[in-house]
């Protein structure tokens, strides 16, 4: 971990040493601009190494996020199907599939920077709340047994950084922050109806699980059949054949043919 931290710090220092302020502000990808200026004909290697770094970070995020969904479902915060694990490898396969579907839904957003603003603000907000709880527990219960305990300055520094990541977007992009806050607030009544209400009927609990499953199943079907405009001709013909079979089976025709 210290080696990774030092590498990232040195890399960012190199950017500021080599590139001017105008070049950094006008660049769409600072690492690529740095590679073009320093590596010459080997500048093509810079996107490759950036992709490797991103892949490593994404790999860790997939492992962690899938288990967060898994634990949430085990506590009853998500459909019970997501709390299942593979019988051979003991991996939360339904949770991984659930996270994949959510990711496909987020890809719909056209402007990636808006998505970054949404995610970074919400993530920083909840991390700030978690670190605040850590500092509170360290003060109120200093002698509590803990599996790991670090110097108090580390969580304080981390809290300051996260607090900056929460407050700065409120000044720069208030619209995205407002939308993110609205989404968070919308989760409050959903939480109380689906989780906090312990005495709700069993049929209502089953309805919530079935509704989530149907919604998630509809996402890939929509993208394959509707949103994917450039799909192969053979796949489009398959859909047309399916429509013809349904028309003959149920003795029905499209509405425009019925009224013509």
Over the stretch 146-175, which tens digit does the pLDDT of each residue have?
A: 888 888 888 899 899 888 888 888 887 787
**Higher model confidence: residue 18 or residue 213?**
18
Alpha helices (H) in the chain, listed in sequence order: 2-18, 21-26, 30-38, 45-74, 93-106, 112-140, 153-172, 174-191, 202-222, 233-250, 255-258
Q: Summarize the confidence of residues 50-66 as an average pLDDT.
A: 81
pLDDT on residue 248: 64
- Which residues lie closer than 8 Å to 77 by C-beta, 6 or more apart? 194, 195
The predicted-structure confidence for 70-127, as pLDDT tens digits, reads as follows 888 887 777 677 777 777 777 888 888 888 887 877 777 777 777 777 778 888 888 8
| Mean pLDDT estimate for the chain | 78
pLDDT on residue 132: 92
Spatial contact of 45 and 54, defined as CB atoms under 8 Å apart: no
């Amino acid at each position: 971990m210290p080696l990774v931290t030092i590498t990232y710090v040195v890399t960012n220092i190199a950017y500021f040493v080599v590139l001017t302020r105008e070049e950094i502000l006008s660049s769409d990808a600072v690492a690529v601009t740095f590679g073009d200026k320093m590596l010459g004909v080997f500048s093509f290697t810079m996107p490759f190494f950036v992709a490797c770094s991103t892949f490593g970070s994404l790999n860790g995020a997939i492992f962690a996020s899938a288990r967060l969904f898994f634990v949430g479902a085990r506590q009853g915060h998500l459909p019970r199907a997501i709390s299942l694990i593979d019988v051979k490898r003991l991996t939360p396969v339904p949770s991984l599939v659930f996270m994949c579907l959510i990711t496909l839904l987020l890809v719909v957003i056209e402007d990636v920077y808006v998505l970054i603003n949404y995610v970074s603000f919400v993530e920083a907000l909840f991390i700030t709340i978690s670190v605040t709880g850590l500092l509170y527990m360290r003060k109120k219960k200093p002698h509590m047994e803990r599996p790991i305990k670090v110097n108090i300055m580390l969580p304080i520094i981390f809290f300051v950084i996260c607090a900056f990541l929460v407050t700065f977007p409120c000044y720069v992009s208030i619209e995205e922050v407002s939308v993110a806050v609205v989404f968070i607030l919308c989760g409050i009544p959903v939480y109380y109806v689906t989780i906090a209400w312990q005495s709700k009927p069993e049929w209502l609990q089953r309805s919530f699980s079935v509704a989530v499953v149907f919604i998630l199943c509809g996402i890939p079907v929509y993208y394959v059949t509707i949103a994917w405009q450039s799909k192969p001709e053979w796949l489009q013909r398959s859909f047309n054949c399916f429509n013809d079979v349904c028309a003959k089976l149920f003795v029905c025709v499209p509405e425009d043919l019925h009224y013509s």
